[in-house]
């Protein structure tokens, strides 16, 4: 077994809740050595899903055992539908039955669904236990595993029930990304592109030169490592400045107001993956910005061209099945967590790499935009 090769350590600075995002190779195979020093007693419970368990669970269990850590594992169903009240209750009961005590650590081994669900369960179990994120998807490595947002979905919208609960460590193993289906890799890439679009034009320029290398995979991990490190560094900086999203952290939701409404409208199903919804949502955000006069005409075409190169959808017409009318989509947007006083808030753009929080956006403007965009 090769030793862990940590290429980058990104610090999330949150006073006594600070932690590292370790990015590198063989981190799951050597997880025991990385996790054991963080435990109060040599015991941990791993939460994963059926798909990830087949590929990675035994490797992590073996590594923990080799480091003298006794572990138990809980395997949840795969898919966005697992982020529900039903599965949250099942997971909490399973964690208690496994003997998790308040000083113990729960390990989330999986993509964004497992990370969000496990983190939320950890936040409420015995009024709060520690957890570690081992994200196994690109999307989770660059976004959902970092920053302490945890939660489940409601029938009224995505991520509406949850808590801020920071992990004590994030282990981003680049090797697992090679096992991802291309669609999943592309979906994760949407969140990578987001960081360039929202606040780093130079990074977006770099992505334009390296998108195929990142998406197609292969044995060259240098581009992927740079993409993950840059994304995590930007998110860590923003989270340190605004942990509970009262200000600048809202910029990380570029494309999400539109995107979450589309996810809800498609039933959180394989019809539309989260990253695919974000891709369409970012295009809509730039298009809407152009329509309102905030952004130069043609900027959106550059965004579309790039996301298409990544293999991502860029328009609602690429979503299979029928979508609800524009009025229903706006109704779903009213449940967005950024809404204030019932008024819609969007992340809009002035240019690539420069975005801003637009509050009190007129609903009539949104409806007029959707009237054109949905046809």
* pTM of the complete model: 0.93
pLDDT tens digits, one per residue of 263-288: 999 998 899 999 999 999 999 999 99
Q: What are phi and psi of 177, to 5 degrees?
A: -65, -25
Residues 198 and 75 in one domain: no
- Considering the domain boundaries, does residue 151 fall inside one? yes
Among 156-160, 289-293, 361-365, the least confident range: 156-160
pLDDT tens digits, one per residue of 186-240: 999 999 999 999 999 999 999 999 999 999 875 568 999 999 999 999 999 999 9
Residues 167 and 18 in one domain: yes
- Considering the domain boundaries, does residue 185 fall inside one? no
Three-state DSSP at 287 gives: helix
pLDDT at 4: 83
Query: End of a domain among 152, 179, 206?
Result: 179
pLDDT tens digits, one per residue of 99-117: 999 999 999 999 999 999 9
Q: Which domain holds residue 206?
A: 194-373
- Considering the domain boundaries, does residue 272 fall inside one? yes
pLDDT at 108: 98
**DSSP characters over 291-320:** HTTSS-TTHHHHHHHHHHHTT---SGGGSS
As a whole number of angstroms, the distance between CA 121 and CA 341 comes to 29
pLDDT at 334: 86
User: In the predicted model, what is the mean pLDDT of residues 345-372?
Assistant: 94
Task: Please check the confidence at residue 1 and state whether its pLDDT lies above 60.
Answer: no
Residues 158 and 226 in one domain: no
On whether the CB atoms of residues 28 and 173 are closer than 8 A, the answer is: yes
Please, which pLDDT band fits residue 3 given cuts at 50, 70 and 90?
confident
**CA nearest to 13, candidates 188, 355, 242:** 242
pLDDT at 72: 98
pLDDT at 116: 98
Residues assigned a catalytic role: 127, 149, 191, 235, 245, 249, 253, 256, 260, 274
Task: Output the CA–CA distances (angstroms, integers) from residue 298 to 290, 308, 348, 369, in the order listed.
Answer: 8, 16, 15, 16
pLDDT at 303: 98
Q: What are phi and psi of 82, to 5 degrees?
A: -70, -20
Please, which pLDDT band fits residue 335 given cuts at 50, 70 and 90?
confident
CATH of the domain at 269: 1.20.1090.10
Query: End of a domain among 179, 211, 245?
Result: 179
pLDDT at 293: 96
Task: Please check the confidence at residue 343 and state whether its pLDDT lies above 90.
Answer: no
Residues 166 and 238 in one domain: no
Residues 245 and 306 in one domain: yes
Please, which pLDDT band fits residue 156 given cuts at 50, 70 and 90?
confident
Residues 125 and 215 in one domain: no
With 0-12 CB in 10 A as exposed, 13-18 as middle and 19+ as buried, what is 54? exposed
- Considering the domain boundaries, does residue 188 fall inside one? no
pLDDT at 246: 86
User: In the predicted model, what is the mean pLDDT of residues 359-374?
Assistant: 92
**CA nearest to 190, candidates 123, 258, 98, 122:** 258
As a whole number of angstroms, the distance between CA 260 and CA 336 comes to 8
On whether the CB atoms of residues 69 and 42 are closer than 8 A, the answer is: yes
For tokens 């394989």, name the residue. Answer: 270
pLDDT at 228: 97
DSSP assignment letter at 40: S
On whether the CB atoms of residues 157 and 335 are closer than 8 A, the answer is: yes
Q: Give the count of alpha carbons within 13 A of 136, CB side only.
A: 27
Please, which pLDDT band fits residue 338 given cuts at 50, 70 and 90?
low
As a whole number of angstroms, the distance between CA 361 and CA 344 comes to 5
Residues 60 and 154 in one domain: yes
Query: What are the E-state strand segments in the chain?
Result: 5-12, 19-25, 43-49, 70-76, 105-110, 130-135, 149-154, 157-164, 169-173, 344-351, 354-361
User: In the predicted model, what is the mean pLDDT of residues 7-24?
Assistant: 96
Angle, helices 201-216 vs 182-199, to 10°: value is: 170
Please, which pLDDT band fits residue 297 given cuts at 50, 70 and 90?
very high
**DSSP characters over 78-92:** PSGGGSSHHHHHHHH
Residues 129 and 258 in one domain: no
pLDDT at 340: 66
Residues 253 and 206 in one domain: yes
- Considering the domain boundaries, does residue 187 fall inside one? no
Residues 35 and 166 in one domain: yes
Work out how many domains the chain is built from and give that number: 2
Among 154-158, 184-188, 251-255, 282-286, the least confident range: 154-158
339 or 374: which carries more pLDDT confidence?
Answer: 374
Query: End of a domain among 179, 209, 233?
Result: 179
Residues 138 and 261 in one domain: no
Task: Output the CA–CA distances (angstroms, integers) from residue 29 to 3, 4, 20, 173, 188, in the order listed.
Answer: 8, 8, 18, 9, 23
Please, which pLDDT band fits residue 155 given cuts at 50, 70 and 90?
confident
Would you report the helix, strand and coil content of the chain in percent, each value rounded to 5?
Answer: 50, 20, 25
Q: Which two tokens stand for residue 172?
A: 């981003």
């Amino acid at each position: 077994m090769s030793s862990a090769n940590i290429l980058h350590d990104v610090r999330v600075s949150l006073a006594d809740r600070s932690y590292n995002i370790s990015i590198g190779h063989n981190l799951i195979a050597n997880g025991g050595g990385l996790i054991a020093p963080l435990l109060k007693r040599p015991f941990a419970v791993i939460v994963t899903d059926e798909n990830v368990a087949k590929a990675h669970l035994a490797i992590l269990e073996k590594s923990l055992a080799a480091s003298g850590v006794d572990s138990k594992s809980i395997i949840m169903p795969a898919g966005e539908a697992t982020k529900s009240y039903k599965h949250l209750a099942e997971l909490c009961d399973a964690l208690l039955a496994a003997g998790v005590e308040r000083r113990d650590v729960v390990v989330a081994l999986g993509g964004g669904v497992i990370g969000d669900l496990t983190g939320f369960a950890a936040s409420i179990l015995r009024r709060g236990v520690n957890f570690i994120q081992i994200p196994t998807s690109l999307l989770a490595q660059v976004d959902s595993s970092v920053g302490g947002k945890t939660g489940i979905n409601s029938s009224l919208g995505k991520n509406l029930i949850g808590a801020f609960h920071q992990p004590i460590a994030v282990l981003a193993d680049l090797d697992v990304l090679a096992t991802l289906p291309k669609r999943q890799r592309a979906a994760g890439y949407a969140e990578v592109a987001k960081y360039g679009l929202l606040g780093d034009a130079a990074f977006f320029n770099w992505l334009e030169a390296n998108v195929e290398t990142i998406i197609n995979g292969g044995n060259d991990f240098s581009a992927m490592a740079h993409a993950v490190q840059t994304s995590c560094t930007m998110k860590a900086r923003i989270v340190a400045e605004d942990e509970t999203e009262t200000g600048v952290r809202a910029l990380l939701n570029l494309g999400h107001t539109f995107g979450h409404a589309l996810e809800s409208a498609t039933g959180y199903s394989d019809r539309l993956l989260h990253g695919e919804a974000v891709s369409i949502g970012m295009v809509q955000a730039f298009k809407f910005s152009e329509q309102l006069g905030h952004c130069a005409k043609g900027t959106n075409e550059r965004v579309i061209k790039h996301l298409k190169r990544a293999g991502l959808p860029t328009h609602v017409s690429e979503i299979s099945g029928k979508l609800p009318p524009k009025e229903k989509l706006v109704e779903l947007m009213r449940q967005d967590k950024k809404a204030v006083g019932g008024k819609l808030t969007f992340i809009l753009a002035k240019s690539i790499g420069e975005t801003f929080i637009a509050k009190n956006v007129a609903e009539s403007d949104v409806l007029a935009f959707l009237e054109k965009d949905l046809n």
